Amino acid sequence: MSHKGHLYFAPNADTSQEVESIVDRMHKGESLSQLLPVSRKKVPLLPLVIYSDFEPDDLMTIAQLWQWKAEQIGDECSLKSHRPLVIFCVNFVEKDHGTIFEKKLLMARLMLGLDPRDIPIVTTCDGVFSKDGGSVRHPLAKSCWQGRQDAIGSIASNIAKLAKHHTAVDFHFIAPGHGHIGDILNELSSKYPEASSKLKQTSRLVTYTGSFNTRGHEPNDLQAIQKLFTTSPVVDISKFVFFGRGDCHPITASADSFASPTLAAKLSSQSPLLAAAIVSFNEEFTARLIRPDGDRLFQKKEGVDPLTSEERERFNDTIADVFKSEGVNAYAQALCSDEAIFSKVASYKKSTLHAFANGTCDMPLCDQVCFLYEWAQKECPKLLEYPQGEWWIDPKTGHSGVCDGDHEHKLGVQAIQPVMVNPKDEATLQAFRSALEKYLLRHLSSCPSN
């Protein structure tokens, strides 16, 4: 299996301009619900609660889980009759500044088909942060912050209704908690004790535990999880573990390398505006990860610059300036072409540089592994192993796992941590790849017109 990038969208200029126009108007205060109207019929909620930060891999995961859950309960027209409870966690200070927030909402509207007014938003603060010696606030941050408590109340109320009408409810936490998860679950137990009590016996939690997510959990997030999810083992999903740790296949490096070679073309055909939105998001958000002035671009040991003086001079004089003068794609091509300097780039940034150099969109594969677990459980459970034990999370490193004996970071909750039986089996990986494409495209085909 080739591990080159496959997410090549190439929207035309008119579609790209339409995306930029929509984003600009949103940034200035216009409602996306009016800019791209969608039918807002009141429909029942699926017994599926997803907490996410709405990066592209999250949104793909939500679409896949939505279609999968609807299929399992025999509802193939999910957009017309049911929808999950989807929660958008926003961090204006660290990740969602510029126009990232607007682009995430736009991608969600186009990929999921939801009216933005039906997506509760929780944010960490009012969005004020320091920049160039002054204070900056995202123009939409204050209203999101002021609506946080109402959003938490609405979420808890809807979860209580799900508990009342369904035998079991599935939760997927695929973003850092930042205290929101704790506040939501505490609101639920405080105002709806009967629902909370029932959920303790019937609910199930699948949580993505990449270190960025787990380091973003506050103590009250983990404490609330410990209290609610006491019956079924928590499913601890980590891409690194799931795909075999150090024995992983090269195609699992990112969504760009793992995606089916036909996915980008089919997605672009079904929703040209979504393809353009993904590219626009990638150029603003992902490009920040490989900026020449970033302090984590190269692999440093004890803060020492890994480049020799000659390499540093060459990088500054012939590569770094390309970022500003010719753009991120030309810069990535220049950096990838210099083998000596590229070899010293931090390993987790190399796939991003390759993607920009080749004109594809790099994004994490991470959260889609949550869908792969659900799908494999039903379709091919013997392809996975399910180590079980007491759940632990190291809050400092963000690492997590299961153990049978002593561990200083045990949480007092049982968990499983699925892993492929044969991480390099290409037939299994191809089946996974096909499932991701099938359920994403199925969802897009059922969305209202884009």
334 occurs within a structural domain: no
Q: What confidence tens digit (pLDDT) does each residue in 10-38 have?
A: 899 999 999 999 999 999 999 999 999 98
For the cut 80, the answer to whether the pLDDT of residue 116 exceeds it is yes
- Is residue 201 predicted with pLDDT exceeding 50? yes
Q: Which residue has the tokens 């993904």?
A: 278
> Contact 390/236 with Cβ under 8 angstroms?
no
How do residues 60-106 score in pLDDT, each as one tens digit? Answer: 999 999 999 988 887 554 555 789 999 999 999 889 999 999 999 99
| This prediction's pTM | 0.93
Return mean pLDDT, the chain. 92
Query: Mean pLDDT throughout 123-132?
Result: 71
Compute the average pLDDT of residues 140-157: 95
Determine contact, residues 390/232, Cβ cutoff 8 Å.
no
- pLDDT tens readout for residues 38-72: 877 778 899 999 999 999 999 999 999 999 998 88
Cα of first residue to Cα of last residue in the chain, in angstroms, is 33
Residue 349 domain-assigned? Answer: no
Q: How many structural domains compose the chain? A: 1
Q: Is 47 helix (H, G, I), strand (E, B) or coil?
A: strand
Query: Does residue 99 belong to any structural domain of this protein?
Result: yes
Residue 344 lies in a domain: no
Strands (E), 119-241: 121-123, 128-131, 134-137, 170-173, 204-208, 234-237
Task: Collect all residues with Cβ–Cβ distance below 8 Å to 41 and sequence separation of at least 6.
Answer: none
Angle, in degrees to the nearest 10, between helices 272-285 and 13-27: 70
Instruction: In whole angstroms, give the CA distance from residue 29 to residue 102.
Output: 10
DSSP 328-369: HHHHHHHHHH-HHHHTTB-HHHHHHHHHHHHT------TTHH
Residue 347: pLDDT above 90? no
Q: 363 burial class (0-12, 13-18, 19+ CB within 10 angstroms)?
A: buried
Is 343 within a domain? no
Q: What is the pLDDT of residue 4?
A: 78
- Assigned domain for 307 exists: no
What pLDDT shows up at residue 35? Answer: 96
**Rounded CA separation 20/9 (Å):** 16
- The CATH number of the domain holding residue 106 is 3.90.245
**Listed residue (208, 210, 38, 229) closest to 117, CA to CA:** 38
Tell me whether residue 324 is in a domain: no
Domain that holds residue 229: 1-295+365-450
pLDDT recorded at residue 77: 47
**∠ Cα 264 267 272 (to 5°):** 110
On the question of pLDDT at 408 being above 60, the answer is yes
The encoded tokens of residue 301 equal 């040991």
Residue 317: inside a domain, yes or no?
no
Q: Which of 418, 414, 423 is nearest to 387 (CA)?
A: 418
